[in-house]
Structure 1
Amino acid sequence: MSHAAIAGTRTERDRSSLHGARLPRWSPYAIALGAAALAVLVGTLAGLHSRIQWGLIAAALFVLGLYGASARVEGLRRAKDRLATSLVWAAFLLAVVPLVSLIWTTLTRGVKVLDVHFLTHSMGVVADTEPGGGIYHAIVGSLQQVGLATLIGAPIGVLTAIYLVEYGRGRLARAVTFFVDVMTGIPSIVAGLFILSLMLILKMQPFGFAGSLALAILMMPVVVRSTEEMLKLVPNELREASLALGVPKWRTILKVVLPTSIGGITTGVVLAVARIAGETAPVMLLVFGNPFINNNPFEGAQASLPLYIYQQYANSAGSGAAYDRAWAASLTLIAFVMLLNLGARGIARWKAPRTGR
């Protein structure tokens, strides 16, 4: 045997002696299968019929089993590492399983009546107990109300964040920060009641723009907070370099700070839009709902997707045509929010600063 082979063999032995004993790679899978089988047995003997309960028991048995096996073979230090990793995976699964279950349930129940006719027709004279009808009027209402709310809330939120980060000093900045924090925790029904009180004072009837005003109130603090955090991530060296070249501060913000953080700002705005897209209480108070198409958000009652879902489910008694329409509208709303997120990612990638080739 050559000297190189002998040296290589000694190196491998040294490494194995440093690492100590290790569990086989297949051991976590074997422990997981054993935990699942034991959980089914325990659940059956205990009379537990919920698969969720079986899953929780299996997760606890897996964590304990892997920790015990690792402590016996690999030592306590490695066992604690595996315990922390197992807990992270268990928490991840606990977060993902409800999400996947929600999407799967909405998809399987929503595709029953979701077709071109459903998307291009309104309810009109169709009763809630009758089949047919669609959500075109609700789509139009949601797009107009959320769009107007974004046109109002996004610029005000971004400009407020710019003031707080770049100019904010003294009592005024502290007062603005305080009120932004308060607005972040305002329930949606309170925003709706505020606009409703103004409408009652002015003796106005329900209309779509009133809902947009309430949604803008809910949107602004989210935009302010997300934009503020993104602006704080911009290195001060970029600002100082621009100011050192004699560029005014307002132009530095416009040409340096905002382009650098545009990806995060766009993502924050889209998250705020997604937050208000599913609000029902302000729309119920201010817009009232309308089974017919109303393309004018400044006059007359108007529909929206969240309100349509609530009304159809409330009149369905858990089954029937209205029940299927509620699930189809829910699937449409989820698709709408997903498209918003995909669009935000595309804009963020397109507007991201390029450092070089």
Structure 2
Amino acid sequence: MIVAISITVFILYLILYVVHEGLPFLNLDFFTQPPTALGDPGGGVVTAVIGSLLIVGTATLIGAPLGLLTGIYLAEFGNGSLAMVIRFLVDSLAGLPTIIVGLFVWVLVVVPAHSFSGLAGALALAIIMIPLMTRTTEEVIRLVPTELRHASAALGATPTQTMLRVILPAARNGLLTGLFLAIARVAGETAPLLMTAIGSPFLNTNLALPMDALPLRIFTFTLSPYAYQIHQAYAGSLVLLGLVILASLLIRWVLRRTLPGQL
């Protein structure tokens, strides 16, 4: 009980401290203006917000389907040696330090292309997202009652039709929860992006070029010797914190709308 109370108090103190330091600097310019030169007051993080949306969105389009398909395979057909190897690789990937993932993508993508890019950052985040989606998908699909599979097969449905029309709809809410968690997990990653997207002070929507992101902008502001930009780092941290809280609220909303018999 004492440990739980201590952790709760520490987390609340951390949140309140970030709110105190960053909230006064959250204004319209913060979300609509690019960052200023080092030492100049004003500016904002519009380049980082747009970059984060593009990078995380692209990572989701790549990582979520791959994790979903891998999880379906492991849940429905994963009884052989191949499935054992895949589970081992997924578990190893889930425990891998994210900076190693960034280094991996840097070697395979950045070095051959001779350029950092938002796409490289998206690939790094997608790799981080895959094991999260895989494990969630496998566990959720395993919770779907076997009777639903048997009933679908008795009506003449093929295994593919059973998966698409029975199992996935039954597991929909659990899959959405896993997706929100995976997005929230990768949205705040900094180390992989330092080695792939690297950041940029200019507004850029081309994934083939270096691209800014909110964690990278926070990192840059934190290194600044000027108090104004350090406060902007707190403001950016507050935005990220708000996104994580929003994701948690969405998860709770999805779970509350779960119908009896759904996951």
When the two structures are superposed, what TM-score results if normalisation uses the length of structure 1? Answer: 0.70
Q: Unaligned 5+ residue runs, structure 2?
A: none
* 8 A Cα contact 1:211 1:287, kept in partner: yes
Q: Distance in 2 between matches of 1:133 and 1:211?
A: 24
Partner amino acid for 2:235? A
* Larger RCO (CA under 8 A, 6+ residues apart): 2
Aligned to 2:174: 264
1:162-211: CA deviations, max 9, x gaps?
00111223121111111111111111111111111123552331110100
Aligned residues: 261
* 1:37-48 to 2 correspondences below 5 Å: none
Q: CA deviation at 1:289?
A: 1.1
Larger radius of gyration: 1
Aligned to 1:156: 66
* 8 A Cα contact 1:260 1:353, kept in partner: no
Q: CA deviation at 1:349?
A: 5.2
- The correspondence for 1:309, drawn from 179, 199, 218, is 218
* 1:178-257 to 2 correspondences below 5 Å: 178-257=88-167
* 8 A Cα contact 1:266 1:348, kept in partner: no
Q: Distance in 1 between matches of 2:153 and 2:256?
A: 27
Q: Distance in 2 between matches of 1:102 and 1:342?
A: 20
- The correspondence for 1:284, drawn from 185, 191, 194, is 194
Question: Is residue 2:252 matched to residue 1:340?
Answer: no
Q: Distance in 2 between matches of 1:194 and 1:311?
A: 23
Partner amino acid for 1:94? S
* 8 A Cα contact 1:259 1:353, kept in partner: no
Q: CA deviation at 1:337?
A: 2.1
* 8 A Cα contact 1:138 1:305, kept in partner: yes
User: 3-state DSSP class of the match of 1:303?
Assistant: coil
Q: Distance in 2 between matches of 1:302 and 1:146?
A: 12
Q: Distance in 2 between matches of 1:348 and 1:153?
A: 23
Q: CA deviation at 1:348?
A: 5.2
Partner amino acid for 1:120? T
Q: Distance in 1 between matches of 2:81 and 2:165?
A: 29
**What is the aligned-residue RMSD (CA, Å)?**
1.7
Q: State the 4+ residue runs in structure 1 displaced beyond 6 angstroms.
A: none
Q: CA deviation at 1:223?
A: 0.8
Q: Distance in 1 between matches of 2:4 and 2:169?
A: 34
- The correspondence for 2:231, drawn from 300, 324, 346, is 324
User: 3-state DSSP class of the match of 1:130?
Assistant: coil
Q: CA deviation at 1:234?
A: 1.2
1:284-306: CA deviations, max 9, x gaps?
111111111111122x2111011
Partner amino acid for 1:327? Y
User: 3-state DSSP class of the match of 1:112?
Assistant: helix
Q: CA deviation at 1:241?
A: 1.7
Q: Unaligned 5+ residue runs, structure 1?
A: 1-86
1:74-95: CA deviations, max 9, x gaps?
xxxxxxxxxxxxx3xx343123
Q: CA deviation at 1:265?
A: 1.1
Q: Distance in 2 between matches of 1:128 and 1:344?
A: 39
1:194-251: CA deviations, max 9, x gaps?
1111235523311101000000011100111111111111111211122122221111
* 1:21-36 to 2 correspondences below 5 Å: none
Q: CA deviation at 1:128?
A: 2.5
**Identity over aligned residues, as a percent?**
41
